[in-house]
Structure 1
Amino acid sequence: MRKEKVISNYSGWSDYALSTLAGRILKAMQETTAQANFPQPNPAITVLEPLVNDYITKHEIASRRGSALEISQKNESRDALLNALRSLAHYVNEVANGQLSLLLSTGMVLASQPSSTQAPTMVEKVQLRDGRLSGQLRLDFKPVKAAWEYEVEIGTMASTGEIVWNKVVLTTSSRGNVLSEMEPGVRYCVRIRTRNGKGTGDWCEPVSLIAR
């Protein structure tokens, strides 16, 4: 029987997918259960946490502006994180010794886990409604099974009728997303696309609502 283990090499993953995964792994390893199962992780959580946070921050900066310096800094941070995840995976596989419940508690990806063969499909049934407070909008949509995260782009309508997209929000939930700091009386447009390890889906058709 094949022994279960987690993947140690995430170098082929996109920046968006790696950013989401790294955050998930860090959160899982900080849980009481994982700390009990893996008391001496390599690297230590105190070492892993700043590496994850540094990469996520630099990835967000590089993805929005993308100067040569910012991309270079992001890539250096990515390499450091990949090395740390490789070491952590080796430690986890050694301690877990094939025990599935232990492996799953780390948030890492099983080597035997089937992967999506293509980028996720388009989001459907998008609803934009008033939030509980003035200046808030609530966003709900039908979840996409193969998606790891959703990129929500927010914009306003120019005098020419063209939508000016000026803000991006990332979420892993399809329900109860609250978009805040909206100016009352302004019509806001929202569109969504999906992401997973294989790529990015198409944008959905924009929906709009006037903030109250």
Structure 2
Amino acid sequence: MKYIRAKANFFRLADEKLIVLGARIIECMKTSEVFTDPTPTIVQLEEAYASYYEAVVPAASRSRETQALKRERKRVLADLFQQLVYYVNTVADGQLSLLYSSGFPVLTGKRTGVIPATPTGIVLEDGRRAGEVAFRFTPVGRDMQYEYSFAVEDLNKKELVWGESLFTTRSFKTYQDGFTAGIYIYFKVRARNKNGASDWSTAVRFLVR
């Protein structure tokens, strides 16, 4: 099976390359008749790009403060492009002409598509404030989307009541708020790509503080 996809690993790009490539991708998204409902939105991309661009020139001074600010804004932009490449690959479904029209670099090669493995290494921690939880887990591959959900226990029925599915492309620390301090919650996650979804992870129990 022909394995063709847009690729993104923008955080490792040199600043001058990311500035040029980022502008091209955003322009392609704005004028595309195929990628009409991108995730994230064009507005989010433009705001993150402008914020990063403004931080690049001052960072040339090499001060720790400006360098740190540039890295923070670069990470935000890179994460948004990582989400966007998942959307592009899903819509294009391996069509080379559509992938090139997105503005992203394209990887072509021979590879059999496989369903991702189930995420492991789940860790839940206290958040930054009461009622907030931080979670992270071990990534299972590149260009991956993760579906996750939280549950509370119904004491009357003695069963878990799962909330709606949420989605992220991040496996490192992410925050979720809105919980009641003093109760136990449960967390599960599974990985998704264009070939399908993994099994759900084993639910992890955590006491909200």
TM-score for the superposition, normalised by structure 1: 0.55
Specify the SS of the correspondent of 2:131. coil
Q: How many residues are matched?
A: 147
Offset at residue 108 of structure 1 (A): 5.3
Q: Any gaps of 5 or more consecutive residues in structure 1?
A: 1-5, 9-20, 25-30, 56-77, 93-105
> Following the alignment from structure 2 to structure 1, what is the Cα–Cα distance between the partners of residues 151 and 169?
20
Q: Please list the CA deviations of residues 144-168 of structure 1 after superposition, one character each: whole Å capped at 9, or x if unmatched.
A: 1266111111111111331110132
Q: State the one-letter code of the partner of 2:38.
A: V
Contact 1:122 1:201 in 2 (8 A): yes
Pairwise CA RMSD: 3.8
Q: State the one-letter code of the partner of 2:164.
A: K
Q: Please list the CA deviations of residues 53-73 of structure 1 after superposition, one character each: whole Å capped at 9, or x if unmatched.
A: 599xxxxxxxxxxxxxxxxxx
Q: State the one-letter code of the partner of 1:205.
A: T
Aligned to 2:195: 198
Contact 1:116 1:198 in 2 (8 A): no
> Following the alignment from structure 1 to structure 2, what is the Cα–Cα distance between the partners of residues 40 and 191?
37
Aligned to 1:111: 108
Specify the SS of the correspondent of 1:51. coil
Aligned to 2:180: 183
Offset at residue 177 of structure 1 (A): 1.1
Matches within 5 A, 1:93-104: none
TM-score for the superposition, normalised by structure 2: 0.56
Quick one: structure 1 residues 49 and 173, their matched pair in 2 at CA, closer, same or farther if it must change by over 3 Å?
same
Quick one: structure 1 residues 162 and 124, their matched pair in 2 at CA, closer, same or farther if it must change by over 3 Å?
same
Specify the SS of the correspondent of 1:183. coil
Matches within 5 A, 1:57-72: none
Q: Please list the CA deviations of residues 41-61 of structure 1 after superposition, one character each: whole Å capped at 9, or x if unmatched.
A: 48716x677532599xxxxxx
Contact 2:92 2:99 in 1 (8 A): no
Quick one: structure 1 residues 151 and 36, their matched pair in 2 at CA, closer, same or farther if it must change by over 3 Å?
closer
Q: State the one-letter code of the partner of 1:52.
A: P
Aligned to 1:208: 205
Pick one of 31, 34, 48 that aligns with 2:21: 34
Contact 1:193 1:203 in 2 (8 A): yes
> Following the alignment from structure 1 to structure 2, what is the Cα–Cα distance between the partners of residues 155 and 42?
37
Contact 1:43 1:88 in 2 (8 A): no
Aligned to 1:154: 150
> Following the alignment from structure 2 to structure 1, what is the Cα–Cα distance between the partners of residues 38 and 123?
33
> Following the alignment from structure 2 to structure 1, what is the Cα–Cα distance between the partners of residues 143 and 204?
20
> Following the alignment from structure 2 to structure 1, what is the Cα–Cα distance between the partners of residues 195 and 22?
31
Q: Which runs of 4+ in 1 moved over 6 A?
A: none
Aligned to 1:65: none
> Following the alignment from structure 1 to structure 2, what is the Cα–Cα distance between the partners of residues 145 and 119?
11
Contact 1:43 1:87 in 2 (8 A): no
> Following the alignment from structure 1 to structure 2, what is the Cα–Cα distance between the partners of residues 201 and 117?
13
Q: Please list the CA deviations of residues 162-207 of structure 1 after superposition, one character each: whole Å capped at 9, or x if unmatched.
A: 1110132211111111111112222111001111121100011100
**Identity percentage of aligned residues:** 21
Is residue 52 of structure 1 aligned with residue 49 of structure 2?
no
Aligned to 1:137: 133
Pick one of 121, 124, 144 that aligns with 1:125: 121
Q: Any gaps of 5 or more consecutive residues in structure 2?
A: 11-17, 42-87
